Structure 1
Amino acid sequence: MAAFETSNQTSNTPVVVEGPYGPVRLKWHKLRTHLAEAPFKRSNLALGWQLGASLEVDILATADGRFAVLHDPTLGPSTTGRGRVPRMPITSLRGLFHRNADGAPDPDAPVLSLAEQITPLRGRPRAPSANLQLDLKLLEGHPLPDSAIADAAAAVAGLEDAIVVGSHHLDDARRLVAAIPGARLGYDPMLAVSRQPGLRDPERLLRHIERRRAGVSLAYLRFDAIVAAESQGFPLVARLLDLGIETDAWTVNPGRGIGHAILRTLVEAKVRQVTTDVSSEIFSLIRSL
């Protein structure tokens, strides 16, 4: 299997690998390029923007209707703060940092609002293939306010064509995309699968997505759901492609049984994007198939 890297003189961090059915993008999960590093590093965002990477940041609404770049609704222990984000104003997050795998705060990974995270991109060159997925996180009992929608739209103004909005919560993701003309829409049905065990059947999962496909260009599927569908002889990923929907397989990191066999299945299923914290390792594994 032939492969190539998109890089420049400052880095050879891979962003895509050529597979038998075309390129497979390697999305930097939480902006990570190494599993041990802190999430949402500013330098990785800038690097990926320049190299043409698919990049991901998670966003959570704060008590005052702003978006913060955070994965978890509780600040500790993944950051230097404490408390529940939906109960806090955005100003309460100032001076906090994300921690790396050893628990050390990383000064290159401050806890920022979405606007603060994105602002430096406006002064940097962008490779044509670079895109930024806003992974919309929502909590039960905390509806997404209109003010947060407006906050996100203002934060990405001028960069709309690089934005992808993905979420388990499709209706709210649609609201956000409607406020960001040019942004693409992604749907992650795995929360629905956890609540409706019948959707573990790949044909029923396909019908579930098909009924909701209007405007959806990406489906985010847990990698083992794809492997299970393929093992049952049902080409879920290929059927989604027939609907005009590409598949992102998440989260694929070496270990826990993820090796050549799993990656071969994903690639041969025609997955178009792989979410990973270790793009270089996944690149090398796919290249060696």
Structure 2
Amino acid sequence: MVAPLKQVAQEVSGEASDTPIAVEGPHGPIRLKWHKLRRYLAEAPFRRSNLALGWRLGASLEVDILATADGRFAVLHDPTLGPSTTGRGRVPSTPIASIRGLFHRDADGAADPDAPVLPLAELVAPLRILPRAPSANLQLDLKLLNGRRLPDSAIGDAAAAVRGLGDAIVVGSHHLEDARRFVSVIPGARLGYDPMLAVSRQPGLRDPERLLRHIERRKAGVSIAYLRFDAIVAAQRRRFPLVARLLDLGIETDAWTVNPGRGIDAPALAALVGAKVRQITTDAPGQISRLIRSL
């Protein structure tokens, strides 16, 4: 049974946590963004208690959103409901009402009652009654399927869902123009761009100097670039200061997704922190913090 939203907020408001929200690097603090709201790699994504806790602690938080058949946003990462949730079917063919009663699964496949599949508006509702630490922010990772343009109804739904929270919202996406439309209706929201889909389609952008030029041509309004960690490491090894050059443009860099055991070793972490990344996306903030502090 799903606990009422106010009950979740009240339980978390008295909870202490040792999950880090940042780690000190050689160029200052590096935020540790809780990918899919995870604090631990094996837990289910989008746990409501983690959202409430991170909001209170001042964490950078991330949720993925997909438009349903009726032009509403649901908090989901994959285009199909199964096997990552207890449902079945394709999200773009499913109306928002049909996701009621579904749950996200953890790494063992168990449904997590703290991680119901929810409309965006319902997931963020507790944030209006919880105290927010000044550094807390929520990235909405906008997923689009088959390059479909977002309907105006979905944009309106998102604006209503986060009304009053705009200064804490970051909209990031591979699809920059749709993200711009999104940000334009959320006063105070910031814009992020992930060029890695473009890199996969245009192999020449693997050259860090060409990637920099690609982002520079699209920089209007962009405050953060989401770059896959190995692209940053490769640029560092080629002695091209990609992240520093982006900072010169007023764009911070988020390195994604940095988890133990996935190509992450001491040299790779040293390259990331040495590159002046301002944020690291991770499903295991505690472990990554310890690894960076041990360098």
Match of 2:288 in 1: 282
Match of 1:268 in 2: 274
How do 1:24-173 residues align onto structure 2 when only pairs under 5 Å count?
A: 24-140=30-146, 142-173=148-179
Q: Give how far 1:40 is off.
A: 0.0
AA at the equivalent of 1:251: T
Distance in structure 1 (CA, Å) of the matches to 2:42 and 2:151 = 34
Q: Which runs of 5+ in 2 are unaligned?
A: 1-13
Q: What is the CA deviation profile of residues 67-107 of structure 1, one whole-angstrom value per residue up to 9, with x for unaligned ones?
A: 00000010000000000000111001000000000000000
AA at the equivalent of 1:288: S
Over 3 Å counting, the alpha-carbon distance change for 1:9 and 1:72 in structure 2 is closer
| Aligned CA-pair RMSD | 0.9
**Residue 234 (1) aligns with residue 240 (2):** yes
Q: Give how far 1:126 is off.
A: 0.5
Note if contact 1:38-1:109 (Cα within 8 Å) is conserved in structure 2.
Answer: yes
Match of 2:203 in 1: 197
User: What is the aligned length?
Assistant: 282
Q: Give how far 1:261 is off.
A: 1.1
Note if contact 1:86-1:142 (Cα within 8 Å) is conserved in structure 2.
Answer: no
TM-score (normalizing by structure 1) = 0.96
Q: Give how far 1:20 is off.
A: 1.3
Note if contact 1:17-1:25 (Cα within 8 Å) is conserved in structure 2.
Answer: yes
Note if contact 1:14-1:283 (Cα within 8 Å) is conserved in structure 2.
Answer: yes
Runs of 4+ in 1 over 2 A off after TM superposition: none
Match of 1:259 in 2: 265
AA at the equivalent of 2:122: E
Task: Find the partner of 1:177 among 166, 170, 183.
Answer: 183
Q: Give how far 1:257 is off.
A: 3.0
Distance in structure 2 (CA, Å) of the matches to 1:64 and 1:246 = 35
Distance in structure 2 (CA, Å) of the matches to 1:142 and 1:90 = 18
Distance in structure 1 (CA, Å) of the matches to 2:17 and 2:35 = 18
Match of 1:3 in 2: none
Q: Give how far 1:141 is off.
A: 5.2
Q: Which runs of 5+ in 1 are unaligned?
A: 1-7
Distance in structure 1 (CA, Å) of the matches to 2:154 and 2:263 = 39
AA at the equivalent of 2:146: E
**Residue 216 (1) aligns with residue 222 (2):** yes
Distance in structure 1 (CA, Å) of the matches to 2:201 and 2:262 = 24
Match of 2:254 in 1: 248
AA at the equivalent of 2:242: L
Distance in structure 2 (CA, Å) of the matches to 1:37 and 1:101 = 6
